Amino acid sequence: MLGFKTKSLLVVILLSTSIISCSKSSQNSGKSYVYTPPPAPVDSNWSFETTPVWVDEFTNTGTPDPTKWTYDLGGGGWGNGESEFYTDSLGNASVANDVLTITAKKQSVGGEAFTSSRMISKFSMTYGRIEVKAMLPSGRGTWPAIWMLPDTYAYGAWPASGEVDIMEMVGYDPNNVHFSAHNSTYFAGNAKTSTMNIPTASTAYHLYREDWTPYAIRGYYDDNLVFTYVNDGKGSSTWPYNQKFHLLMNIAVGGSWGGIDGIDTTAFPTSMKVDYVHFFNIIHKTQ
């Protein structure tokens, strides 16, 4: 009769032999196992509802509708070395005659030499059409933007969770208007960007639009396609745009881009005027 220790040793030897045998059998089977990623989304020709799901046509007078807008407040450069202090005062954001006016002023507040406003929509959505009809400010040192950020930063801090710039313009390069997408692969100076020259960007209203589907982000200026960024199916590193985003509108002053050629203090006050903001739901969200 085998003792307990001898039995245990024999069991271990047999198991080891079996494992080695199975391993060799697998290795010699001639089979290879290759991970196949899921296919990238296809363009399903999504369309958009014709009636906005959320709208502000600025029909009130005075303070922008507090049920629709909130604000980023304060100074400190905002990560770009900017020179403005953002407020929610009527002097920097007001509504009259069916128009929202965001004004940047030469005014010392909170240690900054300028004041302005950075408005945030209380409405957010995943996929859809966003339209903003606006007339842009002028003046060297200005940096107006109409753009989108995520609600919850599901994939991490900027730029990992994405940013979409529906409109940016810098005052030292007037009338060249930029549409951009930022993420952890493409961001800052490496962002995916398209530019269109609009000769009357600061003297007339123009329509700035984003069409956002699971397949692509497309940008239009006055209904002309100027930007396309396609979902490559590689996940959040290139497509963090599958979460809720909200809209921001602001005029920055100076900073790493707007202030490259300095600030012309005689250009202030200067304003961005907004005729309306529309959000439309997407139709046929499924692939």
d(CA 96, CA 61): 5
Q: Assign 40 to helix, strand or coil.
A: coil
Active-site entry in 82, 84, 112, 168: 168
Residue 84 appears among annotated catalytic residues: no
Closest listed residue to residue 167, CA positions, set 214, 201, 139:
201
Within 10 angstroms of residue 279's Cβ, the number of other Cβ atoms is: 21
Domains, the chain, ranges and CATH? 48-283 (2.60.120.200)
Q: Which of 84, 112, 163, 210 is catalytic?
A: 163
Residue closest to 191 by CA, chosen among 153, 223, 214, 158: 158
Instruction: Going residue by residue through the chain, which has 287 residues, state the pLDDT in tens, using 9 for 90 and above.
Output: 434 333 344 333 344 444 333 333 334 445 555 655 567 789 998 999 999 999 999 999 999 999 999 999 999 999 999 999 999 999 999 999 999 999 999 999 999 999 999 999 999 999 999 999 999 999 999 999 999 999 999 999 999 999 999 999 999 999 999 999 999 999 999 999 999 999 999 999 999 999 999 999 999 999 999 999 999 999 999 999 999 999 999 999 999 999 999 999 999 999 999 999 999 999 975 54
What one-letter code names the amino acid at 148?
Answer: M
| Token pair in block for residue 87 | 């407020």
Answer yes or no: 57 catalytic. no
Q: What is the C-alpha separation between 3 and 149, in angstroms, rounded?
A: 71
Q: What is the pTM of this model?
A: 0.86
CA R_g for the chain: 27
| Structural tokens at position 156 | 């991490």
Torsion of CA 137, 223, 285, 245, to 10 degrees: -10
In single-letter form, the type of residue at position 67 comes to T
Residue 17: per-residue pLDDT: 41
C-alpha separations of 211 from 55, 69, 126, 180 in Å? 16, 22, 11, 13
| Alpha-carbon dihedral sign for residues 227, 231, 237, 240 | positive
d(CA 166, CA 197): 14
